[in-house]
Structure 1
């Protein structure tokens, strides 16, 4: 990424990559199967009811680099090729060549972009096969941890700048447009890269305004009243040991959609997935600790979006919400 494009070159690429929100979905038999060449056989179209959309998830990323370099990385061949369906620039980026912000479509929605990696959400892995990816220009980055005393494991030093409000408005408009075409993308299936592969990724990071998106009808968020209600129950439970609390929380994470195995997950994995959850839903304190507030937020989300899964838990003996097994 050390050879930035000249403005003339990038303008050419932009002309080729400019977005069009055409969904390309076929709606009738006449358009079901098109081919520009003459066929040597007769084709009868009988649409099957036993099919579903490829797209089930929406994955949001930050680029960690400026617009010009992002566009180059996402569209040009390399030793480690990566792409996304859309790229959203930010205001006051010197490498951005236009006065107003535009959305750039880089891959057709019905094609597979390479943005999610070895990921998992719900019962699906390799989310490139099932998702639309949106890259958002933001120069968040993490540096390797400083040297420390033997035995210590310091965290990387991360810098998370605020997202541009005009850019976020554009992201909301884009995502709402996408949702009109893919009803299978439910609120809990709008996720960050860090949600689906927390071992290696943290984007879009703790500064991404998930709550604002949810208030605009994009993605999931909890009800504060439910959080306080669950928090009161959890604070009243003093009988559970820390290990069973962490293991139970891993179960709740899996119930929500995170790709963690609650039975085999190591203590480190539980912390990683907990931090990923906190980046999304409690960004002001993303420390990986399974405390009662984090637990209450997750229970409030399960109550709102997966109430049937709460049948595996119960309130017993005034000790709070515990596992039924």
Structure 2
């Protein structure tokens, strides 16, 4: 009996020592003090999280826009007001996603909130019509502020000109902002955005007037080449016509018909896939 008790006692002591060893081992493996990081080496397999800038108009007054963008489930990183001089409100830090793009696509990338910066411009908006009215013009001071802001964001994030777009470009079936009065050519001339080769476009247009504009399949391939999401139906369906309208608002704002024609085909053909085109 004494032998059994001694054996049991010895086993308990050994088990206790084992548990203590495990505990000490666990304590020893814990980091003492803050983690230390070595940033001397970098991976080549990486890119910036932000690669698109999306421009919007508010279709409202400044008070209404700020109320909406700060109290509802819609937001933007920046708001540029129509004050003189304009005020730039930063509503969302650039390291966070703002809810401004919605269902969207550009060069095959979809749901762009996670990879874009949204800029809202206080403007009354535009109602699409057939009389050629482009809507209320943006003021020179407001556009100067938007150009400066956009240039700064693009430089810091290495965003290429073709990825500075309007809401209508990335969601042509749903959106028409920033509308045909937005001066995209002026942006491109300031080094912020893309434009087409006007000399080449004039030659292409003369040729298309003689021969007729291309078919739906051609338009779909060209629109896709320059970033737009379009069906590949080989006919002028609603999605293709909406993309044509978005292209016209950006590159032929004097006449937005959402219909194919020689001039639209020529400007589309003269638009580079990348770069400013100027």
Q: Structure 1-normalised TM-score?
A: 0.69
Name the counterpart of 1:217: 191
Larger radius of gyration: 2
Conserved 8 A contact 1:222-1:304: no
Name the counterpart of 2:154: 179
Q: CA deviation at 1:236?
A: 3.1
Give the counterpart of 1:227 among 198, 201, 204.
201
> Does 1:86 pair with 2:78?
yes
Q: Structure 2-normalised TM-score?
A: 0.80
Superposition map of 1:76-155 within 5 A: 76=71, 78=72, 81-91=73-83, 100-142=85-127
> Does 1:204 pair with 2:184?
no
Larger RCO, structure (CA 8 Å, separation 6 or more): 2
Conserved 8 A contact 2:179-2:249: yes
Q: CA deviation at 1:176?
A: 1.1
Q: Deviations over 1:178-200 (max 9, x none)?
A: 121111x2111111001110111
Q: CA deviation at 1:109?
A: 1.1
Distance (Å, rounded) in 2 between the aligned partners of 1:296 and 1:246: 14
Distance (Å, rounded) in 2 between the aligned partners of 1:200 and 1:54: 25
Conserved 8 A contact 1:248-1:262: no
Distance (Å, rounded) in 1 between the aligned partners of 2:222 and 2:182: 23
5+ residue gaps, structure 1, are 1-37, 92-98, 144-153, 308-325
Q: CA deviation at 1:162?
A: 1.1
Aligned length: 244
Q: CA deviation at 1:235?
A: 2.5
Q: CA deviation at 1:269?
A: 1.5
Give the counterpart of 1:189 among 136, 139, 163.
163
